[in-house]
Chain A
Amino acid sequence: MARAVDELTALLGDDRVRDHPLDQHLFAKDAGLRRGGAPIVVFPESSDEVAAVVKIAGAHGMPIVARGAGTGLAGGAVPQEGSLLVVLTRMNRIFEIDEVGRTAWVGPGVVNLDLSEATADRGLHFAPDPSSQSACTIGGNVATNAGGPHCLAEGSTVAHILGVELVTADGSTVILGGEAPDTPGYDLRGVIVGSEGTLGIVTKVLVRLTENHLDAATLLMAFDTIEDAARTVSEVIAAGVVPAALEMMDKPMCVAVENFVQAGYPTDAAAVLLADVLGHPAGTAASIELLSDIAVRNGATSVRVATDESERALLWKGRKSAFGAIAQAAPDYYLNDTVVPRTRIAEVISKTYEIAERYDITLMNVFHAGDGNLHPLVSFDAAEPGMTERVVAAAREMVTVAVAAGGTLSGEHGIGFEKRDLMSSVFSPEDLDAQARLREAFDQDGVLNPGKVLPEGSRCFDWGPA
């Protein structure tokens, strides 16, 4: 290990190689619950430096874990003891923007919101908008196929990545995808998105930029029951109307948010829906009317329409402050992430409440209802003996309920370590083996983020019949 540190230091200098216990402690965790082992932390500033550190790690048999801002919740960037943690936040340049093709080449360390702000004067933005968008990086978005409220109409990160520069497990550099559409051969660009640092380290990203809307309105709809709100969501989707965003928050969440930012959310409603209607000025009025009609028909007790920018911003501030707001309830939180068909939301949410009651835990809900992407959030105090175990057990049951309803493990956080051992609940041994084959094609020796995404023993089939 000391030899590796010497070589890394010779390459990057003292300041960009850290093995002090304090650094190791800070970087042994992402925004989830799990703490990993002590890594050697490096801060490369170029693709060449990433390639060089990968080669050094390879020569010393060190596992390699890439990390952006560390806002991930599934443990994808949590290192194990003795690994090389490659922190990419210093690779934060926007290299070039093509207004005609509406694309930009950016470093993986560019912060999500910074990119949209940098392209705003050209009438463009980067569509994926995770709740952590003021901190999370594009590289991390690529790793987890990140989402966000506005992925309902625009699609998750994978739809917005046209190419990547990748440093592979052996330290070579390759471009996948590009500005031209439909690159001949396999779509390895698409495979990299969501691969959680297990197939290579992304050192540059070609993003697709999206045209800004011309007109906007935000609707806040209140309901007496969760079922009414969920039925409204199902009916909106079934009507073929896809608002730009369609979010749900339940009563405990609304109360917490109101205490925190006073966004004007009702605190007596069982649930609220927050919908964004974005588009052409001639079209928004009709969409607002349609959404309001469906909500009222399904028992909405109030519908507030904000067309004024400052009022819209305040309503969205409420939604985006949710994770800050819950700190007042308890010091820790566990945010789960599952997806169910949009026709099954009410039933799954109701079972989720039952589970919370049975485990005697505090449950709040704030989620991307339009996609069926649920986020049951448990607020708790980890210092209370046995509490963390109880929360994790309850969360597992909530995942089981979502899967049983025809859903899946994660909509936007990824699998990481958190859900690795649940993969066999949605994939057969043959399916997991196929995924392991893909991984092996990129990383024969298993040095890239080992132990994440796929459960042990996934690669289990010989190629031919016996």
Chain B
Amino acid sequence: MTTLAVATKQLLERLHDPTVDVDAEFVVAPTSMEEAAEILAAAADVGQAVAFYGAGTHRQIGNPVDADLVITTTAMNRIIDYQPDDLTVVVEPGVTLGELEAALTDRKLTAVLPETEPNATVGGVVAAGRSGYRRLRYGPTRDRVLQATVATGYGKVVTGGSPVVKASTGYGMTRLFTGSFGTLGLIGPVLLKLWSQPRATATIVVDDPEVARNAAYRPFAVLGTRGTGRIYLGGTKEEVEAQAEAIGGRSSDGLDWPQPHDPPLRLSFRIPARFVDEAVLAARDLDATGWVAQYGVGIVEAGYDRITSDGFAAARSWAESVGGTLVIEASPDDLRRELGAWGSPPESVELQREVKDRFDPAGICNPGILPGGI
């Protein structure tokens, strides 16, 4: 064995993570980004595929990956630097959304991450580029990742972005990393911009979500589910009450988000916002067991017990014809292998490949998980 191989073997043994049950030869939990970079450098050296694991919440998104080595973030789970007076926080990737939000309640702040995934990790949410329902008001998660540290596929620790709420200093590396699904390396600590929780919130049940959206002033979210529409408001008490009265419908205090169910299959229509009603019809035509439509955003997430290949192909073809995509967000691996997790690759796929090659020259980081086999 070479010295490198011996050192690597010792490192892998020391960092072995027995808590995570995934199918891979090695499962390790580095305690720092430097360790993660060392492992990635070693994996690159021998050309072994690496996957990353937070809480496993999003692991059925993307094309299936066969990894020899899984790096987990369970040993990097601290809130490093909380600055409530500057509305920022630095969080390690293994912190769960529930833990983060709990830490922010003392000052009634929020990181505006997905509302109904308390067990998901910050690293997983950033890697998958997941946003919560409140993106209609606050923008997607990527707008709030101000700085990010990554252990790259070439085994270096790099930080992109700036430690302040507004910057035009160098390239938008945080944009590149957010939603990169671990294909450029392991996403480590991120600096997030926080918002204050409004003093009052309300959920109003409405008949027509699109009409209600136009009657409301900057709602948090406008959602449609089977049989009901809901509009979510936040602001001062007077503001919320005045709006609730103007919109009409049954109003209750607080934010009553649709509770996630775990269907065996979940599809996400991502289409221009004006096509939401049509996407709901398309989702229903495939016999959805339930769905959440985000008006004004252009996302319809629907659950299924089963789908037919023909029906799915027709729905995907429709979504792509209006400039969108139909993404499989949960399914048995075989189904994603058969149908493709993402659909047609974006026209920038060659540029994307150039980027991938420079951050992961050995092609070891979650190989093939993204569209176009990136």
On A, residues with C-beta under 8 Å from B are 98, 100-103, 144-147, 151, 155-156, 158-159, 168, 174-176, 178-191, 193-195, 211, 214, 234, 237-242, 279-283, 285-287, 339-343, 368, 371-373, 406-415, 419, 423, 426-428, 430-431, 433-435, 437-442, 453-454, 461, 463-465
Is B358's CB within 8 Å of the partner chain A? yes
Name 24 interchain pairs, CB-CB below 8 A, sorted by A. Answer: A98-B272, A158-B175, A174-B347, A174-B351, A175-B347, A176-B346, A180-B323, A180-B324, A183-B346, A184-B327, A184-B371, A186-B176, A188-B351, A188-B355, A191-B171, A195-B171, A279-B217, A283-B236, A411-B167, A412-B168, A431-B159, A438-B171, A441-B354, A454-B170
Q: Which of B162, B175, B273, B372 contacts A190 (CB 8 A)?
A: B175
Is B178's CB within 8 Å of the partner chain A? yes
Q: How far is the CB of A465 from chain B (nearest CB, A)?
A: 5
Residues from chain B with a CB closer than 8 A to the CB of A98 are 272-274
Q: Which of A151, A159, A211, A409 contacts B139 (CB 8 A)?
A: A159
On whether the beta carbons of A156 and B196 are closer than 8 Å, the reply is no
Residues from chain B with a CB closer than 8 A to the CB of A410 are 167-169
From A182, A339, A341, A441, name the one whose CB has the most chain B CB atoms within 10 angstroms.
A182
On whether the beta carbons of B325 and A463 are closer than 8 Å, the reply is no
On whether the beta carbons of B41 and A465 are closer than 8 Å, the reply is yes
- Residues A408 and B217 in contact in the complex (CB < 8 Å), given A438-B171, A439-B171: no
Q: How far is the CB of A163 from chain B (nearest CB, A)?
A: 10
Report how far A457 CA is from B285 CA in the complex, Å: 57
Q: Interface-forming stretch among B15-23, B224-232, B239-247, B259-267?
A: B239-247
On whether the beta carbons of B217 and A442 are closer than 8 Å, the reply is no
Is B53's CB within 8 Å of the partner chain A? no
Residues from chain B with a CB closer than 8 A to the CB of A238 are 84-85
Residues from chain A with a CB closer than 8 A to the CB of B346 are 176, 183-185
Q: Interface-forming stretch among B68-76, B149-157, B248-256, B302-310?
A: B149-157
Residues from chain B with a CB closer than 8 A to the CB of A186 are 176, 179-180, 352, 355, 370
Report how far A174 CA is from B350 CA in the complex, Å: 10
Q: How far is the CB of A226 from chain B (nearest CB, A)?
A: 18
Residues from chain A with a CB closer than 8 A to the CB of B175 are 158, 187, 189-191, 193
Interface of A is mostly: loop
On whether the beta carbons of A371 and B165 are closer than 8 Å, the reply is yes
Report how far A340 CA is from B163 CA in the complex, Å: 9
On whether the beta carbons of B143 and A159 are closer than 8 Å, the reply is yes
On whether the beta carbons of A286 and B238 are closer than 8 Å, the reply is yes
Is B108's CB within 8 Å of the partner chain A? yes
- Residues A194 and B358 in contact in the complex (CB < 8 Å), given A238-B84, A433-B158: no
On whether the beta carbons of A437 and B109 are closer than 8 Å, the reply is no
- Residues A168 and B361 in contact in the complex (CB < 8 Å), given A181-B297, A184-B371: no
On whether the beta carbons of B242 and A408 are closer than 8 Å, the reply is no
Report how far A335 CA is from B197 CA in the complex, Å: 36
Is B105's CB within 8 Å of the partner chain A? no
Q: Which of B129, B218, B274, B371 contacts A101 (CB 8 A)?
A: B274
On whether the beta carbons of B167 and A442 are closer than 8 Å, the reply is no
Using A185-B348, A186-B176, A341-B83 as known contacts, list a sample of 15 further A-B pairs with CB atoms less than 8 Å apart, ordered by residue number in A.
A146-B168, A182-B270, A184-B325, A184-B345, A190-B142, A239-B196, A286-B236, A340-B164, A412-B166, A415-B169, A426-B169, A427-B170, A438-B173, A461-B154, A463-B44
Residue of B nearest to A438 (CB): B171
Report how far A101 CA is from B324 CA in the complex, Å: 13
Residue of B nearest to A235 (CB): B85
- CB-contacts of B49-96 with A (<8 A): 83-88
Residue of B nearest to A443 (CB): B354
Residues from chain B with a CB closer than 8 A to the CB of A178 are 272, 323
Residues from chain B with a CB closer than 8 A to the CB of A415 are 168-170
Is B12's CB within 8 Å of the partner chain A? no
Residues from chain A with a CB closer than 8 A to the CB of B322 are 180
Is B195's CB within 8 Å of the partner chain A? yes
Residue of B nearest to A123 (CB): B214
B contact residues, total (Cβ < 8 Å): 92
Q: How far is the CB of A215 from chain B (nearest CB, A)?
A: 9
On whether the beta carbons of B139 and A434 are closer than 8 Å, the reply is no
Residues from chain A with a CB closer than 8 A to the CB of B238 are 282-283, 285-286
From A187, A195, A406, name the one whose CB has the most chain B CB atoms within 10 angstroms.
A187
Q: Which of B158, B218, B352 contacts A185 (CB 8 A)?
A: B352
Residue of B nearest to A237 (CB): B87
On whether the beta carbons of B166 and A339 are closer than 8 Å, the reply is yes
Q: Which of B164, B243, B349, B358 contacts A440 (CB 8 A)?
A: B358
- Residues A282 and B236 in contact in the complex (CB < 8 Å), given A193-B172, A240-B196: yes
From A185, A194, A211, A461, name the one whose CB has the most chain B CB atoms within 10 angstroms.
A185
Is B160's CB within 8 Å of the partner chain A? yes
Residues from chain B with a CB closer than 8 A to the CB of A282 are 235-236, 238-239, 241-243
Residues from chain B with a CB closer than 8 A to the CB of A414 are 168
On whether the beta carbons of A158 and B143 are closer than 8 Å, the reply is yes
On whether the beta carbons of B154 and A464 are closer than 8 Å, the reply is yes
On whether the beta carbons of A430 and B157 are closer than 8 Å, the reply is yes
Residues from chain B with a CB closer than 8 A to the CB of A411 are 164, 166-168
On whether the beta carbons of A151 and B166 are closer than 8 Å, the reply is yes
On whether the beta carbons of B176 and A190 are closer than 8 Å, the reply is yes
1/0 contact string of B91-133 vs chain A (CB within 8 Å): 0000000000000000111000000000000000000010100
Residues from chain B with a CB closer than 8 A to the CB of A286 are 236, 238-239
By Cβ-Cβ distance, the 5 closest A-B pairs, closest first, are A240-B196, A190-B175, A283-B239, A179-B272, A282-B242
On whether the beta carbons of A191 and B348 are closer than 8 Å, the reply is no
Residues from chain A with a CB closer than 8 A to the CB of B41 are 464-465
- CB-contacts of B336-351 with A (<8 A): 342-343, 345-349, 351
Q: Which of A183, A408, A427, A465 contacts B164 (CB 8 A)?
A: A408
Residue of B nearest to A240 (CB): B196
Report how far A427 CA is from B142 CA in the complex, Å: 21
Residues from chain A with a CB closer than 8 A to the CB of B351 are 168, 174, 188, 441-442
Residues from chain B with a CB closer than 8 A to the CB of A145 are 167-168, 172
Residues from chain A with a CB closer than 8 A to the CB of B163 are 341, 406-408
On whether the beta carbons of A341 and B86 are closer than 8 Å, the reply is yes
Residues from chain A with a CB closer than 8 A to the CB of B354 are 441-442
Residues from chain A with a CB closer than 8 A to the CB of B140 are 181-182
Residues from chain B with a CB closer than 8 A to the CB of A179 are 272-273, 298, 323-324
Residues from chain A with a CB closer than 8 A to the CB of B293 are none
- Residues A280 and B243 in contact in the complex (CB < 8 Å), given A438-B176, A464-B44: yes
Is B208's CB within 8 Å of the partner chain A? no
On whether the beta carbons of A195 and B172 are closer than 8 Å, the reply is yes
Report how far A151 CA is from B168 CA in the complex, Å: 13
Residue of B nearest to A373 (CB): B166
Residues from chain B with a CB closer than 8 A to the CB of A175 are 347-348
On whether the beta carbons of A463 and B129 are closer than 8 Å, the reply is no
